[in-house]
Structure 1
Amino acid sequence: MRFRELRRVQAEPGMTALIDTVFLLLLFFALSSSFVMQVGISVNLPRTVSSETAVRKDVIVVVARDGRIFVNNEEVPFDSLWGRLIEELRVQPEGALILRADRDVPHGQVVRVMDVAKQAGAGRIAIATEPARKDEIPGRPAPPAEPKR
């Protein structure tokens, strides 16, 4: 007596659905992230653990190491800063003011620029920083020193 051979159907995952899902995730992350390239004046920013990226509609104020002040990449004397900030904030009322002060600039000068910005009507002032390296995070022990050979 001969028995019939049973053919088993192998179930395979559909590659099309997997590729579609991966593509949608890639598209989502690409569109949801915002990158802002700030070019112009070279500034050594202080480091911080958390930082947010600036939006294009923000007013960028840079205080360079030598004390010069720039508003949206144009040099502005301190005496004219208030008027210039009023103009910029009138054009971009919903934006924040991003203060990019060199870490070597005296604290008092940064505070004076912040005061002028508040008087000019800046509702939100953010201080730009660089992300801290792991060995610079407060409260985290320093990595052990490598032995000298």
Structure 2
Amino acid sequence: MRFDPPRPRSDDERILPLINVVFLLLIFFMLTGRLAAGDPFKVEPPRSATEGPAAAQEAVVLLGADGRLALDGLVMERPALAEAVAGRLRQEPDTPIRLKADGRAEATAVVEVMELLRDAGAAKLQLLTVPEAR
């Protein structure tokens, strides 16, 4: 039996499988790239001079510039929000409530929501802000 030596592969033959793998990985990451659900409406938090570590998200209340409210991504009215927060706090009393208010929201609206959360039983309330650019 006589075997011919393998012919040398050209550069094109060596790089084509690599291109195919990279292309498939690109498509895979494009399709699976969305890891977290976004907020139901756009909220731009106000700027802050201080910066703190991010804590685990327990309950996040969103307040839009137009006064819309949401709890953990679910849009709801004020009475429903108060009842939902009170129900959650009955189950886990030490749950921190995080308020993410739009920077363009009226200060009185932010205070009203904070009072609503206090009346619902929130003992720990964090107002989320974005650090100022220096």
TM-score (norm 2): 0.65
AA paired with 1:54? A
Q: Which has the higher contact order (CA 8 A, sep 6+)?
A: 2
Alignment pair present for 1:54 and 2:55? yes
Identity %: 25
Number of residue-to-residue matches in the alignment: 97
| Conserved? CA contact 2:94–2:124, under 8 Å | no
* Structure 2 equivalent of residue 67 of structure 1: 67
| 3-state SS, counterpart of residue 45 of structure 1 | coil
RMSD: 1.7
* Structure 2 equivalent of residue 124 of structure 1: 124
CA–CA separation in structure 1 for the residues paired with 2:63 and 2:51: 19
The superposition leaves residues 72-115 of structure 1 with CA deviations (integer Å, 9 ceiling, x where unpaired) of 11011013221111112233322211000001111111111100
TM-score (norm 1): 0.59
Structure holding more helix per residue: 2
* Structure 1 equivalent of residue 110 of structure 2: 110
| 3-state SS, counterpart of residue 81 of structure 2 | helix
Unmatched segments (≥5 aa) in structure 2: 1-35
Runs of 4 or more off by more than 3 Å in structure 1? none
